[in-house]
Chain A
Amino acid sequence: MGYSAQLLMTLPEVVLGLGAILLMLVAAWGGQGSTRAVSLAAVAVLIGAGISLMGPASAGGSAFGGLYRADMFAAFAKAVIFAAAAVSILIAPKFFATTSGDDLRPEYPVLILLSAAGMGMMVSAGDLMSLYVGLELQSLSAYVLASFMRRDARSAEAGLKYFVLGALASGILLYGISLVYGFSGTTLFTDIAQAYAGPKSTGLLFGLVFVFAGLAFKISAVPFHMWTPDVYEGAPTPVTAFFASAPKMAAMAMAVRVATEAMGPAVHDWRQIVVFAALASIALGAFGAIGQKNIKRLLAYSSINNVGFALIGLAAGTQAGVASVLFYMAVYVVMTLGCFLVVLQMRDAEGNAIESLDSMAGMSRTRPGLALAMMIFMFALAGIPPLLGFFAKLEVFNAATAAGLFPLAVLGIIGSVPGAFYYLSIIKRMYFDDPAPKYEGRPGLVEGGLLLAASVAISPLGMLVLPCLSAWTALAAKSLF
């Protein structure tokens, strides 16, 4: 295969990489004044990268000696990632303009572009080396983004915490990779799978455990979730929305690919780890959230909880299981972005962001439309039909029962009940309590449009996209098997 044909397969990352470099130069020369232009250009680059997915990038080929996979699985994950990244750029200007402290600088969209390029590599990696490079590109951009509000102590703390713990996780992952490499003699997924299919050595097993520990950190599954609430709370809200959506999807897709492509034959070994992580995440995400007073912290626990449900699909280890993970994550990304869009409107008359849950009291009377949207997202996150969140849960539990994992499915679904409690508590505040001072944050055209789109997608009308979504995820999952 010619070099140009291989480059064409990696077109999304090429577009993102070149776009990021070009915009960085624009930012360097244009300075603060170029923020708006760079933001719009960055969105255009993401759209371009998304369009390029329709070409050879999703044709199912393998480039650069197996380092890079251009299959439907990666294409699906990238489509979600690029969309979430674009939303994170679009919601930023208003937030930084109204929040006292730092202004939005043109580096913000550039960093998101770099991160998106890294995430593209993560989900397309067919080799542990390219996986690690992609992961680090994504993580390093994320560390900077977390501390983007330089004058805000919480933001700086979030960035530092994320960096220290993220570096630790990368170390664990690298250690696992080195063990796998040492005992299998290769870093290529297909060859690793052969090593796992043969007689298993203790070294390979340890490698597997460490690799999964590293992956668990990236998707913030219990017991490697500790960073999530602090980072989510401290990071600027658009950045938190980004963290909760795109990198989550990327890390989950990466974990799925490693689990099925590289370690597929060892499914019985890693299933125990995934089952434990899933149930522990569901339980901790649910019970940890109950005592929270801050909406961003609560959403952090909600993300831990949701990762647990997605992992149930992975635990099935089947094609349907992989499809259900993609389905779940896609729906989850829309739900969580919707929640953060509501959180962005929570501001007082001076434009200061309010993050306390108590301030949401009586929102249904002061801001009925906003409250209705939030209610839809909350019921959807709780998995109540006929909202889209229910169908996402249905898919993962369907995969788990089809794989015969009944205890896991029963425990998991029972675990959704305490989770429903805190989602309900938000609805209770908004609908049952007496009104607190009104939020003055007004969504502009962009935010309002995005919020409306997310609400409609999650509402019962979203059922119309179900056939399309389930067909696409099934197609994506097929490319891994």
Chain B
Amino acid sequence: MEHFPILSIMLAVPAVAAILCLYTNAATARWIALIATLVDFALGCWLWASFDLGPHAAQWQFVEFQPVFGRFAYALGIDGFALMLIMLSVFLMPICILASWEAIEKRVPEYMAAFLVTEVLMIGTFAAQDLLLFYVFFEAGLIPMYLIIGIWGGANRIYASYKFFLYTLLGSVVMLIAMLYMIGVAGTSDIPKLMAYDFDPHVQTWLWLAFFASFAVKMPMWPVHTWLPDAHVQAPTAGSVILAGVLLKLGGYGFLRFSLPMFPEASAQLVWLIFGLSAVAVIYTSLVALVQSDMKKLIAYSSVAHMAIVTGGLFAFNQQGIEGGMMVMLGHGLVSGALFLCVGVIYDRLHTREIDRYGGLAINMPRYAALFMLFTMASVGLPGTSNFVGEFLGLAGMYKVSTTMTLLCTTGIILGAAYMLYLYRRVVFGDLTKDDVKAMPDLSLREILTLAPIAAVVLWMGVYPESFLKPMRADTERLVARIERASPKGDSLPTAGHPAAKPAHEAHGEAH
């Protein structure tokens, strides 16, 4: 099939821009990066608009295939899940560039190049249809992130960059061996074919564990989450946005793309592990978040708690759970990104992330306070915001499998409200006593431009989530059909209700 290779072009645009950036001065590099990411965003919108949602649409669209060597092929293609995550990446990227416009002063060209390379690798990871190509993109993402944290990070950046790199590398390498085994047994490295291949259930457990090691670190799940707070705190603002917004989604995407469809029996068998770790993560990291004095650390821990709801939802083996998991991923990508941007805004003014150093910002920064409020509420999961949809669906899906675990994970919403509102009160409310805080100006136009689009999408996702659920629905149905045979027996035993017969005209009215 000959068609416009849009995915390759989306990879090529930032790649070329990255090389150009290296050879220019700071001001030009900023503009090149911004234009390149905006072009990619436009291409992404076009991708979404032309994504076929019809009833007979192919599962994999925009497919490109080019054999490279051996079984390694340059194979790209996306389904609904990948489409949504690519959209998230290309949407956040220009915002990240804008957020670093003034905050980054040293070595700007290299910084912009690193970000553009990250964008290439993220899109590539989501679009890869070859197992090894996926691994290449997945692992290569370590390089620019290592440099971003290490060069432009905070005081303890060296430790954080090492920890980030080695932790995630250790998690991923075993996955490579599992991949090589799978390619050998199945005789193909094509992801769609592997998703339909039934591995021996005994081997599945080992393969599942190998993949789990990688995705659990990326996700990150308790107890291998400890790299995240360090990386987040030390990374520059835009680095945190990309880490929280997109890189954490690689773990969830991996579970969705590999663990569930390729090893359904093992997933069902080990669902207790996922649920147990998720429940621990929700409660433990929420409590840890409650006592943080560093704003970024608090949001980092809250990310771990949110991601635990994602894993719980994904492994619920039903439509609500999986859709909920995806929605939390998208919502969290936006909201935590926005929260990091909010921290960045005041960090740029006062150069501290200590919560106690602030207070009373509602008085001199009203616009900031309003936007920060919106994102705080979204993070808590207030109805009408993106996270509510995802958390509700995810927990409803989980409920069908394990009521106890759902009960434990739901405490996360209450604890989430506790730490987020506590943070908001300490930073924004109270008396404006400190002189340097008094002198802080409200949001500039550039800062509003970074935060307002996210706010709009957060509300859009909360009010009309169907736009985002629709591209994924057919894929979720396929996935559920694929894993149904192994689906664990739930303990909630829901039964269909018996609606009372309604008058005919009323039922007729509802149908409209």
The chain A residues found within 8 Å of chain B, CB to CB, are 365, 379, 384-386, 390, 394, 397-398, 401-402, 406, 409-410, 413-414, 416-417, 420-421, 424, 427-428, 431-432, 463, 466-467, 469-471
B15 to chain A, nearest CB (A): 9
- Whether the pair B143, A413 counts as a contact (CB closer than 8 A) is no
Stretch from B134-142, B274-282, B430-438 contacting the other chain: B134-142
Contact of A397 among B70, B165, B169, B176 (CB under 8 A): B176
Of residues 309 through 351 on chain B, the ones whose CB sits less than 8 Å from some CB of chain A are none
Q: Which of A385, A394, A401, A406 has the most CB of B within 10 A?
A: A385
Bound Cα distance from A413 to B180, whole angstroms: 12
B132 to chain A, nearest CB (A): 7
Contact of A410 among B146, B150, B166, B174 (CB under 8 A): B174
Bound Cα distance from A414 to B171, whole angstroms: 9
Bound Cα distance from A428 to B150, whole angstroms: 7
- Whether the pair B136, A428 counts as a contact (CB closer than 8 A) is no
Contact of A467 among B68, B107, B147 (CB under 8 A): B68
- Whether the pair B170, A414 counts as a contact (CB closer than 8 A) is yes
Q: Which residues from A are CB-within-8-Å of B184?
A: 398, 401-402
Stretch from B155-163, B448-456, B465-473 contacting the other chain: B155-163
Q: Which of B165, B166, B177 has the most CB of A within 10 A?
A: B177
- Whether the pair B151, A432 counts as a contact (CB closer than 8 A) is yes
Q: What are 22 A-B pairs at a CB distance below 8 A?
A: A365-B107, A379-B143, A384-B140, A385-B137, A385-B140, A386-B140, A390-B136, A397-B180, A398-B183, A406-B177, A409-B177, A409-B180, A413-B174, A414-B170, A417-B169, A421-B166, A424-B165, A428-B150, A432-B158, A466-B68, A466-B72, A467-B69
- By beta carbon, the residue of chain A nearest B157 is A432
- Whether the pair A384, B162 counts as a contact (CB closer than 8 A) is no
- Whether the pair B177, A384 counts as a contact (CB closer than 8 A) is no
Q: Which residues from B are CB-within-8-Å of A463?
A: 68
Number of interface residues of B (CB under 8 A): 33
Q: Which residues from A are CB-within-8-Å of B161?
A: 428, 432
Contact of A414 among B68, B69, B174, B183 (CB under 8 A): B174
- By beta carbon, the residue of chain B nearest A382 is B169
Q: Which residues from B are CB-within-8-Å of A471?
A: 69
A380 to chain B, nearest CB (A): 11
- By beta carbon, the residue of chain B nearest A416 is B173
- By beta carbon, the residue of chain B nearest A376 is B143
Q: Which residues from B are CB-within-8-Å of A397?
A: 176-177, 180
- Whether the pair A428, B158 counts as a contact (CB closer than 8 A) is yes
- Whether the pair B166, A428 counts as a contact (CB closer than 8 A) is no
Contact of A431 among B147, B165, B176, B183 (CB under 8 A): B147
A431 and B180 in contact (CB under 8 A), knowing A384-B140, A410-B174, A466-B68? no
Bound Cα distance from A98 to B177, whole angstroms: 47
Main secondary structure of the interface of A (DSSP, over half): helix
Bound Cα distance from A385 to B137, whole angstroms: 7
- Whether the pair B176, A394 counts as a contact (CB closer than 8 A) is yes
Bound Cα distance from A320 to B107, whole angstroms: 45
A431 and B174 in contact (CB under 8 A), knowing A385-B136, A421-B166, A424-B162? no
A420 and B132 in contact (CB under 8 A), knowing A406-B177, A431-B150, A432-B150? no
Q: Which residues from B are CB-within-8-Å of A414?
A: 170, 173-174
A470 and B70 in contact (CB under 8 A), knowing A390-B136, A402-B184, A417-B173? yes
A326 to chain B, nearest CB (A): 14
- Whether the pair A431, B151 counts as a contact (CB closer than 8 A) is yes
- Whether the pair A401, B181 counts as a contact (CB closer than 8 A) is yes
- Whether the pair B150, A417 counts as a contact (CB closer than 8 A) is no
Contact of B180 among A401, A417, A432 (CB under 8 A): A401
Q: Which residues from A are CB-within-8-Å of B162?
A: 421, 424, 428
B105 to chain A, nearest CB (A): 14
Bound Cα distance from A416 to B171, whole angstroms: 12
Q: Which residues from B are CB-within-8-Å of A427?
A: 146
* Closest 7 pairs (CB-CB, A-B): A385-B136, A467-B69, A413-B173, A401-B180, A466-B69, A432-B150, A417-B170
- Whether the pair A420, B169 counts as a contact (CB closer than 8 A) is yes
Contact of A417 among B140, B166, B183 (CB under 8 A): B166
Q: Which of B69, B157, B158 has the most CB of A within 10 A?
A: B69
Given contacts A401-B180, A424-B166, A432-B158, 12 further A-B contacts (CB under 8 A): A384-B139, A386-B140, A390-B136, A413-B174, A413-B176, A417-B170, A424-B162, A424-B165, A431-B151, A463-B68, A466-B68, A466-B72
Bound Cα distance from A409 to B146, whole angstroms: 26
B18 to chain A, nearest CB (A): 12
Q: Which residues from A are CB-within-8-Å of B69?
A: 466-467, 469-471
Bound Cα distance from A427 to B161, whole angstroms: 11
A276 to chain B, nearest CB (A): 19
- Whether the pair B68, A420 counts as a contact (CB closer than 8 A) is no
Q: Which residues from B are CB-within-8-Å of A402?
A: 180, 184
Q: Which residues from A are CB-within-8-Å of B107?
A: 365
Q: Which residues from A are CB-within-8-Å of B150?
A: 428, 431-432
Bound Cα distance from A424 to B139, whole angstroms: 15
- By beta carbon, the residue of chain A nearest B180 is A401
Bound Cα distance from A417 to B173, whole angstroms: 8
Q: Which residues from A are CB-within-8-Å of B173?
A: 413-414, 416-417
Bound Cα distance from A413 to B176, whole angstroms: 9
B130 to chain A, nearest CB (A): 13
B107 to chain A, nearest CB (A): 8
- Whether the pair B166, A401 counts as a contact (CB closer than 8 A) is no
B164 to chain A, nearest CB (A): 11
Bound Cα distance from A385 to B120, whole angstroms: 14
- By beta carbon, the residue of chain B nearest A365 is B107
Q: Which residues from A are CB-within-8-Å of B142?
A: 384
